[in-house]
Chain A
Amino acid sequence: MTMNASPMIVRVLRMLAGTQEIELGCEEVTALLDEYCEAQAGGEDLSRFAPVMNAHLRLCADCREEYEALLTLVTMDADPISS
């Protein structure tokens, strides 16, 4: 199969530019995700998570989607009477 690979090569290079020698895996990111979203929702300083958390979320679409969903859940005003 020969595909139009030029945009893909540029995307690969962007991924390479963001590549660190040591990165968090999905399990490590998931372990931190509740704490991270809560800190973000509370307007706390996130520097204790960055940049390793950001690097992973940029490169892993599944973890990024779960992060965005959890942040939505915890910041949502979904209770009829909020307590």
Chain B
Amino acid sequence: MQDLRQWLARRLFFYLRSRSDLDKLADSEIQDLAEDFVQDTLLQIRAKLEQFEGRSKFTTWAGKIAVHQALGELRRARWRDFSLDSLIGESDFTPSFLVNEADPDAPDRAVERAETMRAVAEVINEELSERQRAALVALMVEGVPMDVVADRLGTNRNALYKLLHDARKRLRSRLEDRGYNIETLLNDLSG
């Protein structure tokens, strides 16, 4: 266990030191942080020991638990004050330029693109639940981690991924029902 502790602490230290969001911390602080994470990790390893199946080296398996633990804590600390409340019920995907009167002098192509945007926004607004829309906005606009969004929704990352997977499948099939092809839409809008 002592060897494992050292293996994890050294590597976690160098990894944490390379992260740009921690570059204000002194080496001694990063060392303390790494040791705290390793302490928590070792407790988890003891509890999960029978789950180790030998499909990788033991250190790699332990490293996976350490990374999950450390990054989970860093994400939650960094986004401690984030709230989803302002996004739930108010996340409207309608682009702001569509809210204004159409510009009569806009070229045909711009009008076409605006129409396509409006159609996609409509499907998103109509077909997704408020939770699904709020999660999408948080993840894509605010850059909030999945773990944090999951916490705020009272769920976990795995269930949130499934919620979003269902949302993506639903959107794709509804757009196809309306005669849209995703690749064509992408070409039209990003081209």
Interface residues of A (CB under 8 A from B): 1-6, 8-17, 19, 21, 23, 25-27, 30, 33-35, 37-38, 56, 59-63, 65-66, 69-70, 72-74, 76, 78-79
Judge whether B117 and A16 touch: CB under 8 Å: no
A-B contact count (CB 8 A): 143
Closest to B87 in A: A1
What are 11 A-B pairs at a CB distance below 8 A?
Answer: A3-B96, A9-B121, A13-B182, A17-B182, A19-B165, A19-B169, A21-B169, A34-B63, A38-B57, A60-B157, A62-B147
Complex alpha-carbon distance, A25 and B155, angstroms: 14
Binding stretch for chain A, among B24-32, B101-109, B138-146 = B138-146
List the 7 shortest-distance A-B pairs measured between CB atoms, nearest first.
A34-B56, A62-B146, A5-B95, A19-B168, A26-B158, A1-B90, A34-B60
Judge whether B60 and A65 touch: CB under 8 Å: no
Complex alpha-carbon distance, A56 and B157, angstroms: 13
Interface residues of B (CB under 8 A from A): 10-12, 14-15, 18, 55-57, 59-61, 63-64, 66-68, 70-71, 75, 86-87, 90-97, 99, 117, 120-121, 124, 136-137, 139-141, 145-147, 157-158, 161-162, 164-165, 168-169, 171-172, 175, 182-183, 185-186, 189-190
Closest to A9 in B: B120
CB neighbours (8 Å) of A76 from chain B are: 11, 14-15
Judge whether B60 and A60 touch: CB under 8 Å: no
CB neighbours (8 Å) of B139 from chain A are: 61
Closest to B165 in A: A23
Judge whether A62 and B71 touch: CB under 8 Å: yes
CB neighbours (8 Å) of A70 from chain B are: 60, 63-64, 67
Complex alpha-carbon distance, A65 and B36, angstroms: 20
Closest to A24 in B: B161
Complex alpha-carbon distance, A70 and B63, angstroms: 6
Which residue of A12, A37, A73 is within 8 Å of B120 (Cβ)?
A12
CB neighbours (8 Å) of B161 from chain A are: 25-26, 56, 59-60
Which residue of B12, B92, B169, B189 is within 8 Å of A9 (Cβ)?
B189
CB neighbours (8 Å) of B140 from chain A are: 8, 11-12
Judge whether A74 and B147 touch: CB under 8 Å: no
User: Assuming the A-B contacts A4-B96, A70-B60, A74-B63, are A9 and B117 also in contact, with contact meaning beta carbons closer than 8 angstroms in the complex?
Assistant: yes
Complex alpha-carbon distance, A25 and B11, angstroms: 27
Q: How far is the CB of B69 from chain A (nearest CB, A)?
A: 10
Judge whether B185 and A13 touch: CB under 8 Å: yes
User: Assuming the A-B contacts A72-B15, A73-B11, A78-B14, are A5 and B86 also in contact, with contact meaning beta carbons closer than 8 angstroms in the complex?
Assistant: no
